[in-house]
Structure 1
């Protein structure tokens, strides 16, 4: 079953989340989204109506962050790969350890590759990958960002551009549009309304190419402040599975963020999209956090 039922009036399902840890992850890249997702409720008046079930995977029994926080893993990567079909959302943090992951070609690279393969074979289930800060470099090296748009911590814009260019050349595939945004969502699901061209929540990838040119190596586009997203489950439209399957990654939602605090914003976006907008607003209120919204590129309905 999808994390979001085909019938929007159906029962509220638990979205299963897997944090893909590695040595020297960044603490807040995990703790921030963990705080937000664990607070999300399908019914903001019912504390038992949890929206997410969260687990941790790591290459060892416990993973220590760059800042010294140790988190116990619920499973190792071998078990996680075997049980991958159970999960709806994988979160990849950033941190100093990203460099070792890339240099050693280590997990979570294989986990993410298998998650994409699984979704391409079974696109009817809604799946999401969220990469926070320089965690987006992991997706870039795998080729997961080819033909999509992405962002990362500002210190890593050029590195992400280079990694994505190398991947697109290697795979003879489409380039990546690196954007200076709070977070960037690809393959979203929400109602575009009667006039999609005027929808303030979406940026057409075509418009980006018209601005920077389709063959530009470093095609970074600065924010034009078209922010936000509506929850897909509030839409009266229903997408075509065939349309979804024809998109990059089989239409799997893929989100990348800027620096660490932007991971909080993207986590609130996920609450709004997968649970409800009201739930996201309530989480932000309780945390006294001002939600800064990012952009959506090429949604399912476009």
Structure 2
């Protein structure tokens, strides 16, 4: 059973992290199975307020988080009317987070991002020479943050082998199902999509 850590932060987009959480959380549990992934959340602080103020208590913080097999960085946020960044636009300049992501990157089997979570990977210097996608409204900012990364904003997900990125919000569900198929076969991914009645994959 692989472990999946999903990083959460203030103003994280809810579906960015709950969509993948659902996919990995239910995979393999049909027909009484024990599941193929152990999924948990990790944050810099114990409690966070998501986009639209859903309060979530993280399973772990940076200080006590076990090293996962898979780390997922979701997106969410933007700029307030006065130009103040929030969500990923703030977190992409959080040195403690960037150092932690770099450290985890050296240890995990797969590193995933959803939506503008790509900006955090870009600022951490992890997308140099790779391909990426992101939310369609963040393409220009991604080009600034990762000038040596080839962007494919029209793609739902981009697979670099070990680092896999998805486009915005709901695309994280598709990427997660793709990762399931990559690790456990297409039939397992279709079983999961069928269970949650996600017709796009069935």
Q: Find the partner of 1:149 among 131, 145, 156.
A: 131
Q: Which runs of 5+ in 1 are unaligned?
A: 1-13, 120-126, 166-174, 188-252, 293-302
CA distance in structure 2 between the partners assigned to 1:34 and 1:58 by the alignment = 15
| CA shift for structure 1 position 104 | 3.5
Runs of 4+, deviation exceeding 6 Å: none
1:29 aligns with 2:3: no
Residue 122 of structure 2 is aligned with which of 130, 135, 140? 140
> In the TM superposition, what are the counterparts of 1:39-54 in structure 2 within 5 Å?
39-41=26-28, 44-45=30-31, 47-54=32-39
Shift of 1:275: 2.4
Q: TM-score, normalised by structure 2?
A: 0.88
Query: Following superposition of structure 1 onto structure 2, how do residues 265-276 of structure 1 map, counting pairs within 5 Å?
Result: 265-276=174-185
| Candidates 142, 148, 151, aligned match of 1:160 | 142
- Unaligned stretches of 5+ in structure 2? 78-86
Calculate the aligned-residue CA RMSD, in Å: 1.6
State the Cα deviation string for residues 228-272 of structure 1 (Å, max 9, x = none).
xxxxxxxxxxxxxxxxxxxxxxxxx11111110100000101111
Partner residue of 1:20? 7
Decide whether the 8 Å contact of 2:105 with 2:111 is kept in 1. no
Give matches, 1:150-229, under 5 Å. 150-165=132-147, 175-180=148-153, 181-187=155-161
Q: Which residue of 1 aligns with 2:61?
A: 76
Partner residue in 1 for 2:99: 110
Give the match's secondary structure for 2:93.
helix
**C-alpha contact 1:268 1:291 (8 A) present in aligned 2:** no
Q: Select the structure that is richer in strand.
A: 2
The verdict on how the C-alpha distance between 1:118 and 1:40 changes in structure 2, with shifts beyond 3 A counting, is closer
* Count of aligned residue pairs for this structure pair: 191
Partners of 2:94 and 2:192 in 1: CA distance: 38
Q: Is the 8 A contact 2:136 2:168 kept in 1?
A: yes
Compute the displacement of 1:118 (Å): 3.3
Following superposition, the deviation at residue 62 of structure 1 comes to 1.4
Whether 1:277 aligns to 2:190 is: no
**If you compute each CA radius of gyration, which structure gives the higher value, 1 or 2?**
1
Secondary structure of 2:152's aligned partner: strand
